[in-house]
C-alpha cells in the first residue's frame, strides 16, 4: 500500500512484494561531539535565553532611534522567534506606521497571526503585501501555504506557480506545486514540476524523493529506482529513501538489491517495523530463510502478532494463507 508524501497511518499487510512510499522526517542536528565525548547531558538553552541578548540589543536600538522602522522590525522578529506574538505584532505594527509600504513587516505580521492559527488575518496582511509587491515570491509562497491550510488546493497551486515564475531560481514553489499535483493524481504535471526543481538545484533531495514517489504512481519502475538511488547518494542516512528504494527493487524482482536497500533502512532505523517486515518478506521471496528468521527474531518480542504471521510464511516457504496476497 502506497503512502502519500505526508506520512499517514500505516496499514500493515502481509503481502509479499507489496511496498509503500513514505516521506522521511528531517533529522534534527545534535551536538555529536559533545555527546560522543561525555555522558553528561547537554544543556540546551531555551528560546528565551537564546534570543535575550539579541532582543536586549534591539530594544536599546529602539530606545535610541524610535522612529527608525528597521529597529522595530528587528525587535518584532526577536519576539516572533521567541513566540511572544503580541509583542511581535505591536513592533511590526509600529514599523508599518513609520513605513506603510514595508513589505517585510507585512510578511512578518502575517506570520505572527499564522502561527497563532489566525489564518484569515495572516492572509489579510499577506494580500496587502501583494498589492505593494505583486511579484514578491515570498509573499506568493506564504499565500500558497495559507491556501493549503484553508483547503484551497487550486488557489495554492496558482500561488506556487506565480512564485515559481517570480523567482525562477527558487526550486521550492515548484516542489510544492509538484506535491499538490501528486496528491491530486496529476502525475505528469507533478513529474514536470519536480524535474524543473531539480534543474535549478541538482542535489535537492526532497525533489528527487517526491519524484520517485511520482514515478511509483505512474508505474515507471526504472525511473523510480534511479530517483531513490539519487536520494541516498545525496543523503546516505535517509532511511525512508532506502526503504522506498527497496520497494522499487522488489517490484522489479531485483531481490538481492531489495534486500540490500531494506537492510540499509533497518541499519539506519532499527525500530522501523515496516522496514523489518519488508526485509523479512523479500528474504522469503528470495528463499533466504536465514535472513527472514533474523527479522522474525528482531520482531517477535515487540510485534508478536506480526512475527507469528511471518514465521508461518517462513515455515510454509512463502506460501500465502487464504486472504493474503503473494
Domain assignment present for residue 17? The answer is no
What DSSP string describes 20-38?
Answer: ----PPPPPP--HHHHHH-
What's the number of domains the chain is made of?
Answer: 3
Domain assignment present for residue 16? The answer is no
One domain for residues 195 and 241: no
Of 133, 151, 184, the position where a domain reaches its end is: 133
CATH of the domain at 300: 1.25.40.10
Helices (H), the chain: 32-37, 47-64, 69-81, 85-98, 103-115, 119-132, 137-149, 153-166, 172-183, 187-200, 205-218, 221-234, 239-251, 255-268, 273-285, 289-299, 304-315
One domain for residues 228 and 143: yes
Are 246 and 32 in contact by the 8 Å Cβ rule? The answer is no
One domain for residues 104 and 54: yes
Domain assignment present for residue 40? The answer is no
Closest alpha carbon to 108 in 92, 123, 96: 92
Of 232, 247, 276, the position where a domain reaches its end is: 232
Domain assignment present for residue 304? The answer is yes
One domain for residues 107 and 142: no
pLDDT in tens, the chain (326 residues): 333 343 222 222 333 443 444 433 333 333 333 333 444 556 666 766 777 888 999 999 999 999 999 999 999 999 999 999 999 999 999 999 999 999 999 999 999 999 999 999 999 999 999 999 999 999 999 999 999 999 999 999 999 999 999 999 999 999 999 999 999 999 999 999 999 999 999 999 999 999 999 999 999 999 999 999 999 999 999 999 999 999 999 999 999 999 999 999 999 999 999 999 999 999 999 999 999 999 999 999 999 999 999 999 999 876 543 233 33
One domain for residues 113 and 166: no
Contacts of 277 (CB under 8 A, 6+ apart): 12, 14, 295, 299, 306, 310
Distance of alpha carbon 117 from alpha carbon 115, whole angstroms = 5
Domain assignment present for residue 253? The answer is yes
Distance of alpha carbon 74 from alpha carbon 88, whole angstroms = 10
pTM above 0.75, yes or no: yes
Domain assignment present for residue 26? The answer is no
Distance of alpha carbon 149 from alpha carbon 144, whole angstroms = 9
**Domain encompassing residue 276:** 236-326
Of 186, 203, 232, the position where a domain reaches its end is: 232
Residue 322 pLDDT? 28
Residue 20 pLDDT? 43
One domain for residues 92 and 105: yes
Domain assignment present for residue 33? The answer is no
Amino acid at each position: 500500500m502506497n503512502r502519500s508524501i505526508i506520512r499517514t497511518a500505516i496499514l500493515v499487510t502481509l503481502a509479499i512484494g507489496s511496498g509503500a512510499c513514505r516521506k522521511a522526517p528531517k533529522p534534527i542536528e545534535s551536538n555529536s561531539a559533545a555527546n560522543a565525548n561525555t555522558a553528561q547531558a547537554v544543556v540546551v538553552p531555551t528560546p528565551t535565553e537564546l534570543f535575550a541578548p539579541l532582543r536586549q540589543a534591539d530594544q536599546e536600538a529602539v530606545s535610541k532611534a524610535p522612529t527608525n522602522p528597521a529597529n522595530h522590525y528587528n525587535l518584532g522578529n526577536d519576539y516572533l522567534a521567541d513566540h511572544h506574538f503580541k509583542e511581535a505584532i505591536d513592533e511590526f505594527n509600529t514599523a508599518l506606521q513609520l513605513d506603510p509600504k514595508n513589505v517585510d513587516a507585512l510578511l512578518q505580521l502575517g506570520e505572527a497571526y499564522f502561527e497563532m492559527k489566525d489564518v484569515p488575518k495572516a492572509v489579510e496582511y499577506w494580500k496587502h503585501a501583494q498589492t505593494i509587491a505583486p511579484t514578491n515570491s515570498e509573499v506568493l509562497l506564504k499565500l500558497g501555504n495559507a491556501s493549503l491550510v484553508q483547503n484551497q488546493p487550486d488557489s495554492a497551486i496558482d500561488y506556487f506557480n506565480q512564485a515559481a515564475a517570480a523567482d525562477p531560481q527558487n526550486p521550492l514553489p515548484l516542489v510544492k506545486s509538484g506535491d499538490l499535483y501528486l496528491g491530486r493524481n496529476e502525475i505528469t504535471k507533478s513529474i514536470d514540476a519536480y524535474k524543473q526543481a531539480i534543474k535549478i538545484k541538482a542535489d535537492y533531495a526532497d525533489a528527487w524523493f517526491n519524484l520517485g514517489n511520482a514515478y511509483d504512481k505512474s508505474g515507471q519502475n526504472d525511473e523510480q529506482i534511479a530517483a531513490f538511488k539519487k536520494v541516498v547518494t545525496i543523503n546516505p542516512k535517509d532511511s525512508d529513501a532506502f526503504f522506498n528504494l527497496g520497494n522499487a527493487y522488489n517490484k522489479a524482482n531485483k531481490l538481492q538489491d531489495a534486500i540490500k536497500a531494506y537492510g540499509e533502512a533497518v541499519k539506519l532505523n532499527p525500530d522501523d517495523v515496516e522496514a523489518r517486515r519488508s526485509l523479512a518478506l523479500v528474504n522469503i521471496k528470495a528463499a533466504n530463510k536465514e535472513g527472514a528468521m533474523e527479522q522474525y527474531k528482531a520482531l517477535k518480542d515487540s510485534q508478536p502478532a506480526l512475527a507469528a504471521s511471518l514465521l508461518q510464511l517462513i515455515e510454509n516457504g512463502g506460501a500465502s494463507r487464504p486472504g493474503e496476497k503473494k
